[in-house]
Structure 1
Amino acid sequence: MLPPPNHTLLFFHCNASHTERTIPHLIAFLKTAKSASSSIERDGASLLCSSSITRSRSDAPRSAVVVAYAGRLEGVVVFHVANKCPFPIWPATAPNTGHPVLAGGGFFLPPRKSKRVVAPPTWTGRFWARTACNFTNNSNSNSNAAACLTGDCDGRLACNGSIGAPPATLVEVSLLRAGPTTSYDVSLVDGYNLPVAVAPTTTGGKPQCAVITGCAKDVNAACPPELQVTTTTTTTDGGKKQKDVVVACKSACLAFGLDALCCRGKYATPDTCRASVYSRVFKDACPAYYSYAYDTTAATGSGCYAPEYIITFCPDRWGQEITDRAAQM
């Protein structure tokens, strides 16, 4: 990838364990460069740090190449990850094989805040949100104990390529460089924990990318008992009462592991794998999402292109039950 005219292309090699202290020095250097733009920032479009080594162990060192322009970096795709939930979340990313980890694989996002995540133009992978996380117990150890009630990745803030533990609502993205070949969807094939919406920031692309809306109902409130993931909370009235709170809803495949529900074996075709009573619970609450592997009614953004997208957790269309239980998260 060549730099734009009159821009300088700079390569820096860094180790993941030193990235946090290296990046500020790099940015300071770029800002003092004669041709540098004053708008350069760690997660901005002028800086992209990608890993080129596949992890073999969760604590294995990773190396990365920082590619920076002393000016605007063209050709990248920007995801604005927004949290409209009334509680904090910990968004996470995981690439498909051969693609770089974005934003370290995970980060903290308070209510009503957003974070810009930069991806190369050919990135493929997933986004999801983790809930009710506490990384304190794992901060000074190599423990892989879960730190989040939902979507956990080996108890770490930075998933660094690890796929989150289901059930969790997934945003699946595939970016290709040549032409309008972007595709994305929201999947409940591995279960549900939060509603999410995906939309391009502009509608000027041709063909235009689709908007995938959130849910009309709270899946967790409608989740059948056999699919529920619960946690026990103590009420505030003297701490004498406890009740189970549903924090996620498993897919039928995850809960029962049957080929007919997982669309595998002799059921691995659209003709043989059909909607179940369980997938219909998902579809009723979130019509735009994939409720099972061969859901042909799901909304997708495909065959389109946009330079920026907004991924919103707990968008405007979501169940009132979630708001009512926000204090319990």
Structure 2
Amino acid sequence: MARAILWVLLTIMAVSLYAGVEGVSFDIENQCPFTVWAAGTPFGGGRELRRGQSWRVNVPGGAKGRFWGRTGCSFDGSGRGRCNTGDCGGLLNCQGSGGIPSTLFEYALNQFQNLDFYDISLVDGFNLRMTVILSNSNCRRIACNSDINSKCPRELKVVDGCRSACAAFNTPAYCCTGSFIDNCPSTDYSKFFKRECPMAYSYAKDDPTSTFTCPGGSNYRIVFCGNGASNTNSTSTSTGSLYAVE
């Protein structure tokens, strides 16, 4: 109970902090041939999305957070249960970070020079293909659309997902901690993730090719199992919506 009250207070404080800064919307859509339980913190919580369903979450400007999808979930009428991947404390309405593995979308709105910073991260591993499209057509569409689960090294594989080496082995060399905190080269495992999804974070120090920016105020569409190419730009010519996923 105390933890739930603390979370509510922190959320109220966050909303108050960002009041007056223009907010944006995040449309999360499931194009997978199976149900995905979408999650978002500190804004959103969680929602069951059957194939073709979508969920809009409004986020205040200046906020930081993440969205991800959960698989293999089962919840009772009170919203308690568990998921094979991305589980957040056994709750449908997430109140904290998701479990490993999960494909993460991370955002920081209206930061330095009024820019949004955003990325797809596989630092904790992979569970679902993901495409992210911005309403500002000058901003980069990003995606991780390789079927990593089917190619996952045996030692990283779990039900419905593929762990990162850091999650699997928890050593400084793979987690960029201890003596590797300032000098942490890529490994064969992180190179595997980078080869499969060149635009996504493959390990903790993979910043130069994995963080993207966009002028503040853009809306976002996050698609699970979309077919957008992982190396395409949202400025590519299209006869459909700016949010189109080829």
Matches within 5 A, 1:13-32: none
Matches within 5 A, 1:1-329: 56-58=2-4, 62=8, 75-95=22-42, 102-103=43-44, 105-136=45-76, 139=77, 147-159=82-94, 161-176=95-110, 179-203=113-137, 208-215=138-145, 217-230=146-159, 247-269=160-182, 272-296=183-207, 298-302=209-213, 304-317=215-228
Q: Secondary structure at the match of 1:153?
A: coil
Count of aligned positions: 222
Q: For residues 195 and 140 of structure 1, what CA distance do their matches in structure 2 show? A: 29
Q: Which runs of 5+ in 2 are unaligned?
A: 13-19, 231-246
After TM superposition, what 4+ stretches of structure 1 lie above 4 angstroms from structure 2?
58-61
Q: For residues 118 and 77 of structure 1, what CA distance do their matches in structure 2 show? A: 6
Q: For residues 177 and 184 of structure 1, what CA distance do their matches in structure 2 show? A: 11
- Aligned 8 A contact 2:110 2:216 in 1: no
Q: Secondary structure at the match of 1:279?
A: helix
Tell me: CA distance 1:187–1:56, structure 2 relative to 1, closer, same or farther (3 Å): farther
Q: Which runs of 5+ in 1 are unaligned?
A: 1-54, 66-72, 96-101, 231-246, 320-329
Report the Cα offset of residue 265 of structure 1.
1.3
Q: For residues 276 and 133 of structure 1, what CA distance do their matches in structure 2 show? A: 32
User: Which one has the largest radius of gyration?
Assistant: 1
TM-score normalised by length of structure 1:
0.62
Across the aligned residues of Structure 1 and Structure 2, the Cα RMSD in angstroms comes to: 2.5
Q: For residues 194 and 298 of structure 1, what CA distance do their matches in structure 2 show? A: 21
Residue 236 of structure 2 aligns with which residue? none
- Aligned 8 A contact 1:134 1:148 in 2: yes
Q: For residues 223 and 143 of structure 2, what CA distance do their matches in structure 1 show? A: 9
Q: For residues 56 and 174 of structure 1, what CA distance do their matches in structure 2 show? A: 28
Structure 2 residue identity aligned to 1:158? N
Residue 234 of structure 2 aligns with which residue? none
Report the Cα offset of residue 268 of structure 1.
1.1
Q: For residues 2 and 198 of structure 2, what CA distance do their matches in structure 1 show? A: 38
- Aligned 8 A contact 2:111 2:117 in 1: no
- More relative contact order, 1 or 2 (CA 8 Å, 6+ apart): 2
Structure 1 residue identity aligned to 2:224? F
TM-score normalised by length of structure 2:
0.81
